[in-house]
Amino acid sequence: MNKEFYQFPNGFWWGSASSATQMEGASTLEGKGENIWDYWFQEESNRFFNGVGPGNTSNFYERYKEDISLMKELGHNSFRLSISWSRLIPTGDGAVNEKAVTFYKNVLKEMVDQNLEPFVNLYHFDMPMVMQRKGGWESREVVDAYVRYASICFELFGEMVNKWFTHNEPVVPVEQQYLYGAHYPAECDFSKAVQAGFHSILASAKAVKEFKAKGHKGEIGVILNLTPSYPRSNHPEDVKAATIADLFFNRSFLDPFVKGEFPTELVDLIKTEGFMPDIEAGDLELIANNTVDLLGINYYQPRRVKAKENMPNLNAPFLPERYFDYYEMPGRKMNPYRGWEIYEKGIYDILVNVKENYGNIPCFISENGMGVENEDRFLNDEGQIQDDYRIDFYKNHLKWMHKALEEGVDLKGYHVWTFIDNWSWLNAYKNRYGLVSLDLENGYKRTIKKSGEWYRELSVQNGFYDKDSTR
């Protein structure tokens, strides 16, 4: 059988991504302040799968040297981590924790020494609890505290960092804190959701302005989870439903971060529903003039929608789903463990959209991965997980990325989720995503999976062989 080689450009970024809360451990040790996850686990541990909280991670805090060496062994030339705001500044807006400064400097130096480029994200769902009590992203005071935190990070760590990101998936805290109840404070209040979303965008713009004004080296970007909205059919009502879903969940953040403006159709809809946020003089100009240099794209699944089947209940709390219903496409390919559709072409559609409608901004895939339950079923006699399903998942997405590159998309790299099986918010260790397995019962032993070995070859060859494919 003939095999085709999918070659990627020289200097392509191969690596993975994680976050402070999900891998550092040492939850409130070494001077770290409490964040919303630490607090929520203490208050309602029943919400967390098997009662496993954020104190029970892979403990990157103590094992970072070992883990960075493993990343190098996996062929990484880059890795995306986040800084814990509550570790660096325990109260969110007060004194800096010097032990945290030492830790992050040591981590970054180790990465640089091993020729791994650090991609540093400033906010990944982990609001300091002191800041949440002041309103979290609803609060203007918290915006100012975040900008101060970002500025401190630029000053402390800027010599070793050329890639900064203001937020990871800023739509997710808006959805899960204020619409669907999966992150603390688990409210259902669309007005708060809109205000929190606006303030997170404003906070990013202010951080970008600070970064540029102080002349820091490198680039500053944002990481967005872009979930393409596909209509059930070409019927105008289905198309309209998909357009509105796209406005709420993609363009609400993509447009202001990249273009510096909010979609007129979305503003009109929010005005009509009576949910406009509080906006101060100069805010919109600041957002317009401080867009990002680099776009990280997280992609896991498509969103399929259709026109409403029934009249919405106008007395219920407002949710975006008042304008559309979700649609389960017959014959769709599924990851049954996560309940997500696998649709590889979605990654291509996102990239083409970015090229055609967002100035072909330099971008990279900053998360893409497959979570599977009970992976111990796939252990071989040597104790290695044979996760061919994950290799196939990567390959089939990379083929579509390769096609986008051939068509001129300014795509710089591919980071998978994730390096090592990590603690995952409410799901804890239910689904495993890592290139490296984590043995919770045996001293948190690390073992490279088959996919990790494949990923090393991918990076070494700067591409991969696969059977002839029409994609």
- Would you please indicate which residues are annotated as catalytic (active-site) residues? 169, 367
Which of 96, 195, 92, 101 lies closest to 145, judged by CA? 92
Q: Angle at which helices 140-157 and 190-213 pack, to 10 degrees?
A: 30
Cα(141)–Cα(125) distance, integer angstroms: 18
Alpha carbon separation from 345 to 33, 221, 397, 442, 451 (Å, rounded): 42, 25, 7, 39, 21
Q: What is the DSSP letter of 364?
A: E
Neighbours of 441 (CB within 10 A): 7
CB 53 within 8 Å of CB 434: no
CB 154 within 8 Å of CB 109: no
Which of 283, 372, 361 lies closest to 335, judged by CA? 372
CB 163 within 8 Å of CB 221: yes
* Buried-state track 398-416, b at ≥16 Cβ within 10 A, e below 16: bbbbbbbbeeebbbbbbbb
Cα(338)–Cα(427) distance, integer angstroms: 10
Compute the residue count for the chain: 471
Q: Please report which helix (H) or strand (E) contains residue 316, including its range.
A: none
Which of 253, 265, 262 lies closest to 323, judged by CA? 265
Q: What angle do CA 17, 21, 26 make, to 5 degrees?
A: 125
Single-letter amino acid, residue 133: R
